[in-house]
Structure 1
Amino acid sequence: MIRATMSRAAAIMFALAGLASFLVAPLAGAATLAQEDAASQPVSIPHGNGLPVVVRPALFFNHLESFDENAGTFEATVDLRLTWIDPRLRYPAKEALRGYKEYRVSAAEREIAKIWTPTIRHVNRVGDPTFSERRLRIFPNGMVEIIDRITATYKTPVETSRFPFDRQSLEIVMVVQEDTVETVDMNFTSDDVGFSRISKKAELDGWSTGLVSLKRELVNGWNGDRYAKIVASLAVNRMLGNSIATIFIPLFASLLIPFLATWMNRAQDDEFDVDAFELGNVIIGGLFAVIALSFTFSSSFPALSAGDNTVTRLLGLNYVALAFGTIITVVFYRYKLPARWFGVYVQEQAFLFLSWAFPILFIATGLAFVFVSAA
């Protein structure tokens, strides 16, 4: 009898266990699905301190790989720091041994996936970064700091009007996506300006580096929407050495060619020592030399040939000087018009005057072009 009672109790317990597992399994599955759905959903914007959430960007230039002024692009490795306050992430200060909780690389990516982060687009970046690595710090007061080390190529405007004394700005443009300025804003403080600088070890061939500046702007969107924009600019100044040797010496040397057509001749009575044909060949040779220089500059420095600058002005001055030398050759050497119209003495004095006034005027104009761009 006792044995039968025990068998009945065991059967009842087995049935209860099966019923419990039947009821608990769906509940556990539902809980798992709920957790997965929560993880897949984006984290909401932290509005505990009100809106907008102010994101503070700062940019540190670690290394400058290259700067192609003809293409208007540069490649650099930068540290982009973004900081903001999320009150939901506050914790007791005693939990942070170093004053903050820090996560690196893969651990940082896992933690970043759990919190809200601003969606910021690099407007002028060309293609995807060749390298990207993030670090996350969370402070007891809820301040979040993400530093993203990025190696990428960026498009930047190039201004050549003051070449070769020009200063260029290597710009990185950041714009908040999806959230208007009323929800997410970007601004910076003196601490962000202090962080934004270039490494002392960073160098750029042919350029000297200057300061990094931050500028806040707004981008207009649909239906009057506005989006926060920050432009980080690194100032670089051109070094003169290569430009003088490869550009300005040939330009001023070619400017001497039409002068030689004047200096090589001499007026005696109503005749000239050298025939107009021979000096005309000098002018034609100078024309081909200037055309060759123009072609060389346009193919090697497309950015210079596209606008108004010292090089294009000096090339224009060369053409004007050749035209003036051609006029002297035709008027004085070929047809001797001053002698026919005003007499031999007037021709001699006019030629003597032009022999020095012509070179002085054009050389002074060329130097003025250079000094104006240097001012």
Structure 2
Amino acid sequence: MAGAWPAAVRAAGRWAAIGLASTLLAISAATAQETPVSSAPAGLDQAPAWVSEPSFALPPDTARPTLVLAGLHLHEITDVRLGEQEFTAIVTLTQHWNDPRLRFEPFGGSNKLEFQEETAREVLNNIWSPAIMFYNAIGNNLVPNTLLTVYADGFVNLETQVTVRSSYEARFRSFPFDIQRFDVVLTIFGQRNDSFRLEPMWFTTWHDGAEIVPADYDIVDTTFSAGDIEFLEDTYSPAITFSIDVERRGGYYLWRHFLPLIGVIILMWTVFFITRTSFHDRLKIISIAFLTVITLLLWVNRDLPRVPYLTTIGIFYGLTAMMAVGAILESLMVNHYVQTDRMDRAFWLDRLSRYMFGVAFLFALAIVVFYAAYFR
């Protein structure tokens, strides 16, 4: 029962959106010129002519824009590529518009005609339909399922399930505690901007309680907005942007990078407690710690694109390396005092370094936390 309640709420919201869309389209249809109703005998073989032959290439009303409502249901984000800044999503695109020329007399106990897959695509070639495209898509999109429904009053509903690969603008300053925004941008291509109005209808993401994003992400928010985009130079087209904000689960990097780095810093801190005459032992420990930092840094760089700015994890690596260099310089100074028989200064420098190294470690943590929170 716990899963049934959100399902019912989401379903109710979706049907409410459909009802609102139908109301808006009805208002749009009422302002259009009256179109004679075509009769259809009781038999699919005698359905309206537009079912089987090209009939309408132009919009329903050339005197005013045709209202096109678009809704998107996100089934799953199957892949996120950090280096290429791309993501792959499975979505169902719903388009809703009114074409009075498609009216027909209900027959066979039904007030609608439904067409699926290839038949639907053939009928779409015979009538006018909004040529909605994914503006930020990369390559060819897989369209496995299509459902076209034409109602007797001329309302048209087109549902298309699409696997789309799109680009996104990554923000890595707070990586690995970053929030990314995946945008699916819809626009209409190849038609005059004054011949249609493109408006959002709904954006749903619920998928039977299953994970709809990769395991290392959580969905934070979903929004949609309408506006214009620059399609060509000085050429703008109406567009709808469906946005999914996802938060990276930073646990993997916390356990695999941050905690090992903290262990490395503690290891370097111990050299200030080693006998001041054991210079080579100190140098061995610091060298091992420094090489460990370099190895982990090369490991994490494999997952990140080459960005021209600092990331949170990059800052922590850099500060850890600087602390290693500081420990080496301190050991060299202590060894110099020992060699010149100034043991009191060597003792004083070691004692001071124990406290200063701890303060530097806390300062480094504060910088990392502030940077991650500021650019999140």
Under TM normalisation by the shorter chain, which class is it?
0.7 to 0.9
Residue type at the aligned position of 1:73 = E
In the alignment, what sits opposite 2:353? 354
For residues 254 and 316 of structure 1, what CA distance do their matches in structure 2 show?
A: 13
Q: Does 1:80 align with 2:79?
A: no
Alignment of 1:203-352 (within 5 A): 203=212, 204-221=214-231, 224-265=234-275, 272=276, 274-299=277-302, 301-303=303-305, 307-335=309-337, 348-352=347-351
Contact 2:272 2:351 in 1 (8 A): no
Deviation at 1:98, TM superposition (A): 5.7
* Superposition RMSD in Å: 3.1
Q: CA deviation at 1:113?
A: 1.7
C-alpha spacing 1:304/1:369, structure 2 compared with 1 (3 Å) = farther
CA contact (8 A) 1:103 1:135 kept: yes
Any gaps of 5 or more consecutive residues in structure 1?
1-34, 266-271
Residue 305 of structure 2 aligns to a residue in which SS? helix
Q: Which amino acid aligns with 2:79?
A: S
Query: Offset at 1:160?
Result: 1.8
Listed one character per residue, the Cα deviations across residues 44-90 of structure 1 (whole Å, up to 9, x for unaligned) are 12216x43223222110123322223332222221011112222223
Q: TM-score, normalised by structure 1?
A: 0.75
Distance 1:276 1:312, change over 3 A: same
With over 3 angstroms needed to count, the CA separation of the structure-2 counterparts of 1:142 and 1:212, relative to structure 1, is farther
Shift in alpha-carbon separation, 1:323–1:46, aligned structure 2, 3 A:
same
Q: TM-score, normalised by structure 2?
A: 0.75
d(CA) in 2 for partners of 1:369, 1:84? 51
Q: Which has the larger radius of gyration?
A: 1
Q: Percent identity?
A: 17
- Counterpart position of 1:163: 175
User: Against the structure 1 CA distance between its residues 233 and 97, is the aligned structure 2 distance closer, same or farther, given a 3 Å change threshold?
Assistant: farther
2:204: which partner in 1? 196
Q: Which amino acid aligns with 2:162?
A: I
The 1:110–1:288 alpha-carbon spacing in structure 2 relative to 1, beyond 3 Å, is: same
How far off its partner does 1:131 sit?
4.1
Rounded to whole Å, the distance in 2 between the matches of 1:105 and 1:120 is: 18
2:135 to 115, 123, 129: 123
- Which structure shows the bigger proportion of residues in helix conformation? 1
Q: Secondary structure at the match of 2:139?
A: strand
How much has 1:222 moved relative to structure 2?
Answer: 5.4
CA distance in 2, matches of 1:334, 1:96: 101
Matches of 1:236 and 1:169 in 2, distance apart?
A: 6
Q: Match of 1:64?
A: 77
Equivalent positions of 1:84-123 (< 5 A) are 84-92=97-105, 94-95=106-107, 97=109, 100-123=112-135
- Match in the other structure for 1:134: 146
Q: Write out per-residue CA displacement over residues 15-71 of structure 1, whole angstroms, 9 at most, x where no aligned residue.
A: xxxxxxxxxxxxxxxxxxxx9xx95687112216x4322322211012332222333
